């Protein structure tokens, strides 16, 4: 037997436990329940609720199971009269000041205090004095407070200190007057802040947009996947009569642990905004008219038939599902169309022939926190992918050297080894030189213009010494005017230092869109096209006969496409919302379902395939995008376009991938930098997309638009 394993006894039965393990961990493993409030597996031990008191042989008094380590031969009693008496006494004290307003509390029906009180509470209170009342605090648009219900478990306080790094909440006063409070009104300001709702074991902290709108037992719980970044956080949607009332996290240790970002939690509000497109619409003589689905589909087919193949183009959101992307790719191939893309914000397509078949993070999400060195290149990871930002913070707190190379300044709640501001290209080139390497031949002329700084040399030295190191390219690097050069330099650093590298991609399914062939240089499975089509920039600047947009908004998602620049004769938009940008640019609008109203599959940044079903009823006459594409293919009389479900589309994809070997992207890039006389070492300052404006659903989520983050973004 290992020295790390010891023998203990729990309620008269022999069990094994790890040396140093707390009693509560051992009892949980042994399926012997011990009541608790302050204890949480993802937080430090506070031992301030005392609800987990247990009897331990030879101990002079009951011991808190969460703060007492096991010992060899220890005998633990969780259900003895002595232990139960201690737990009941604690419960009585916790209920002294509780208002007992369960009938109006949103936590009712899923409240830990309520559940434990049923087993350990008294039927009648012996406390006859006045109960304490605590004034509620306004802490922002996402979380409501009823602080009289608070039992001082301090989970919310520890979450701020240990997980987010922002101490918005704290304890003030002492004894009877102690309370959880903020120093400033409306101060909760973090991308993971609303997780305190789930942490609160009572009804002190609740979901403000959801407040008083439903009861827990009325709703049906459905599994789904987050649709707003490349992580693919696992979620539960709570649905009442076909309408989403709230979103909560679904535990998955490999992806999001027990947390979700605020935008994943509250984005559902955007599904029910006033701007939802509820019926097909067509522009006639400059005026928009509602039409039937039959008319809309026939007009779509008519325009496809009228347009020249070479003058037809498709632009799809990188959050389109595998099934939607596959049908677009199949439809385009059947029509001989190569002009399609999902890289809506990219500016540099110089090296697109070497664009990765699947743009991935380069490692598992959970492995990030095991890294010894992380270099973020052109990435505001907190806002691009909050869950990845949390993993990076965990790595930093564990001793990892985290370096940031960015032309913009961002705030991080952990110590950095270095923050290199200024030109991305200049800093990356300097690190190559500091590693003892040489710049690629196409960039050799830059060597004399670079002077090494102490911080650049420090990063290089750390890269040489550490074993587990990873380079991450973020949105500012991907959308940079010289993105191909940045990628070339990054791969060179990775090769010189034996580091891994990857991307924080945009949208929920960039990897899937690449694999399905939604790009002009690569077909299905990433195989090169015989004839290269036009990329996003070439598409929006061309005089297309027909331009089809899938869940992408002109201007906001496609910056170069607006009413003034649009040269296309006819524009069809399959969209969830009818925005002003849509109405100015498009000629035909077809209403499609949001991520919650359709089924499909995403490939997240680590290459994990995750399928989900529709959880809510469609708004108005909206239809899942895959059904609309299937109908278009059928009306065009295309072969093998009769699908009865999204699952049947996915089955066909999987069969084809078994028979086709995906083309691997080059691991080394060799480009001829097309910079001419331009100063590529100068700062470009790529404007970041605000966290709550990355897609149409988020832009219409009213509560998120009231957050300090959204207000700051709108003022820039």
pLDDT tens column, 280-335: 999 999 999 999 999 999 999 999 999 999 999 999 999 999 999 999 999 999 99
What average pLDDT score do residues 193-215 get? 96
Amino acid 125: pLDDT = 80
Amino acid 573: pLDDT = 98
pLDDT in tens, 472-528: 999 999 999 999 999 999 999 999 999 999 999 999 999 999 999 999 999 998 888
**pLDDT above 90: percentage of residues in the chain:** 84
Amino acid 673: pLDDT = 46
Amino acid 448: pLDDT = 85
Amino acid 36: pLDDT = 96
Give the CA angle between residues 31, 102, 40 to the nearest 5°.
35
What's the pLDDT band for 664 if we cut at 50, 70, 90? low
Q: Among the residues of 498-575, which ranges form H helices?
A: 510-515, 536-541
Amino acid 124: pLDDT = 78
pLDDT over 60 (residue 678):
no
Burial of 98 from C-beta contacts in 10 A (0-12 / 13-18 / 19+)? buried
* Backbone conformation region of residue 63, classed left if phi is above 0, alpha if psi is from -120 to 50, else beta: beta
Amino acid 570: pLDDT = 98
Amino acid 685: pLDDT = 78
Amino acid 131: pLDDT = 85
pLDDT in tens, 205-239: 999 999 999 999 999 999 999 999 999 999 999 99
In sequence order, the β-bridge partners of residue 550 are 316, 574
What's the pLDDT band for 684 if we cut at 50, 70, 90? confident
pLDDT over 60 (residue 50):
yes
Query: CA distances (Å), 447 to each of 11, 261, 550, in order?
Result: 72, 42, 44
Query: CA distances (Å), 444 to each of 457, 477, 673, in order?
Result: 20, 21, 11
How far is residue 488's CA from residue 673's CA, in Å, rounded to a whole number? Answer: 10
Amino acid 669: pLDDT = 47
pLDDT over 70 (residue 662):
no
Query: Are the beta carbons of 107 and 77 closer than 8 angstroms?
Result: no
How far is residue 232's CA from residue 226's CA, in Å, rounded to a whole number? Answer: 5
pLDDT over 80 (residue 716):
no
pLDDT over 50 (residue 190):
yes
Single pTM value for the model: 0.94
What average pLDDT score do residues 382-411 get? 95
The pairing of beta strand 570-575 with beta strand 588-591: parallel
pLDDT in tens, 1-33: 567 899 999 999 999 999 999 999 999 999 999
Give the CA angle between residues 397, 608, 224 to the nearest 5°.
90
Q: Write down the mean pLDDT value for the chain.
A: 93
Amino acid 700: pLDDT = 97
DSSP characters for 363-402? S-GGGGGG-SEEEEES--HHHH-HHHHHHHHHHHHTT-EE
**pLDDT above 70: percentage of residues in the chain:** 97
How far is residue 105's CA from residue 433's CA, in Å, rounded to a whole number? Answer: 62
Query: Are the beta carbons of 547 and 309 closer than 8 angstroms?
Result: no
Amino acid 693: pLDDT = 96
pLDDT over 60 (residue 93):
yes
Amino acid 182: pLDDT = 87
pLDDT in tens, 531-573: 999 999 999 999 999 999 999 999 999 999 999 999 999 999 9
Tokens 């009231």 -> residue: 706
């Amino acid at each position: 037997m290992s020295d790390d394993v010891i023998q203990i006894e729990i309620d008269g039965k022999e069990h094994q436990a790890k040396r140093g393990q707390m009693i509560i961990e051992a009892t949980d493993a042994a399926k012997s329940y011990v009541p608790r409030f302050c204890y949480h597996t993802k937080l430090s031990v506070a031992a301030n609720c005392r609800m987990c008191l247990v009897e331990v042989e030879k101990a002079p008094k009951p011991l808190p199971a969460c703060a007492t380590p096991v010992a060899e031969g220890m005998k633990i009693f969780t259900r003895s009269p002595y232990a139960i008496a201690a737990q009941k006494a604690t419960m009585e004290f916790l209920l002294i000041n509780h208002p007992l307003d369960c009938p109006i509390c949103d936590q009712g029906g899923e409240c830990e205090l309520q559940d434990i009180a049923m087993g350990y509470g008294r039927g009648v209170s012996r406390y006859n004095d006045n109960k304490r009342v605590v004034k509620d605090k306004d802490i922002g648009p996402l979380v409501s407070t009823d602080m009289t219900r608070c039992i001082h478990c301090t989970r919310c306080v520890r979450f701020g200190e240990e997980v987010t790094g922002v101490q918005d909440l704290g304890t003030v006063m002492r004894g009877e007057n102690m309370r959880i409070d903020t120093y400033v009104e409306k101060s909760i300001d973090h991308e993971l802040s609303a997780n305190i709702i789930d942490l609160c074991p009572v009804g002190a902290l609740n979901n403000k947009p959801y407040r008083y709108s439903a009861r827990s037992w009325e709703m049906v719980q459905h599994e789904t996947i987050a649709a707003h970044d490349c992580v693919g956080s696992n979620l539960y949607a709570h649905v009442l009569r076909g309408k989403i009332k709230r979103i909560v996290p679904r535990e998955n240790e490999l992806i999001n642990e027990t947390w979700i970002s605020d935008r994943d939690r509250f984005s559902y509000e955007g599904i029910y905004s006033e701007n939802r497109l509820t019926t097909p619409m067509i522009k006639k003589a400059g005026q928009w008219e509602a039409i039937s689905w039959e008319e809309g589909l026939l007009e779509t087919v008519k325009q496809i038939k009228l347009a020249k193949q070479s003058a037809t183009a498709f632009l799809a959101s990188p959050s389109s599902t595998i099934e939607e992307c596959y049908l677009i790719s199949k439809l385009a191939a059947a029509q001989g169309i190569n002009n399609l893309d999902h890289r809506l914000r990219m500016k540099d397509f110089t090296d697109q022939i070497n664009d990765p078949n699947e743009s991935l993070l380069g490692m598992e999400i959970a492995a990030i926190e095991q890294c010894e060195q992380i270099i973020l290149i052109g990435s505001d990871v907190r806002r691009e992918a909050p869950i990845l930002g949390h993993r990076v913070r965990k790595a930093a707190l564990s001793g990892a050297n985290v370096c940031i190379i960015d032309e913009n300044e961002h705030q991080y709640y952990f110590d950095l080894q270095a923050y290199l501001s200024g030109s991305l290209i200049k800093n990356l080139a300097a690190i190559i030189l500091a590693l003892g390497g040489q710049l690629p031949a196409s960039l050799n002329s830059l060597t004399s213009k670079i002077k090494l700084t102490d911080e650049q040399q420090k990063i290089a030295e750390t890269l040489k010494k550490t074993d587990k190191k990873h380079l991450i390219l973020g949105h500012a690097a991907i959308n940079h005017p010289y993105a191909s050069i940045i990628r070339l330099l990054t791969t060179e650093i990775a090769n010189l230092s034996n580091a891994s590298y990857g991307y924080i991609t945009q949208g929920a399914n960039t990897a899937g869109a690449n694999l399905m062939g939604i790009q002009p240089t690569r077909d299905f499975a990433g195989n090169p096209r015989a004839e290269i089509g036009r990329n996003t920039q070439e598409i929006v600047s061309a005089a297309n006969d027909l331009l089809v947009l899938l869940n992408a908004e002109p201007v906001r998602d496609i910056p170069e496409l607006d009413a003034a620049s649009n040269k296309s004769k006819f524009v069809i938009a399959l969209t969830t919302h009818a925005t002003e940008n849509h109405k100015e640019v498009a000629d035909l609008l077809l209403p499609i379902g949001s991520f919650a109203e359709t089924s499909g599959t995403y490939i997240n940044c680590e290459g994990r395939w995750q399928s989900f079903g529709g959880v809510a009823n469609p708004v108005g006459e909206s239809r899942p995008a895959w059904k609309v594409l299937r109908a278009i293919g059928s009306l065009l009389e295309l072969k093998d376009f009769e699908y009865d479900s999204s699952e049947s589309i996915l089955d066909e994809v999987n069969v084809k991938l078994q028979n086709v070997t995906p083309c691997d992207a080059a691991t080394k890039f060799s480009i001829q930098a097309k910079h001419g006389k331009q100063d590529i070492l100068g700062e470009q300052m790529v404007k970041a997309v605000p966290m709550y404006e990355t897609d149409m659903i988020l832009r219409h989520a009213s509560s998120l638009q009231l957050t300090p983050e959204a207000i700051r973004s709108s003022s820039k």
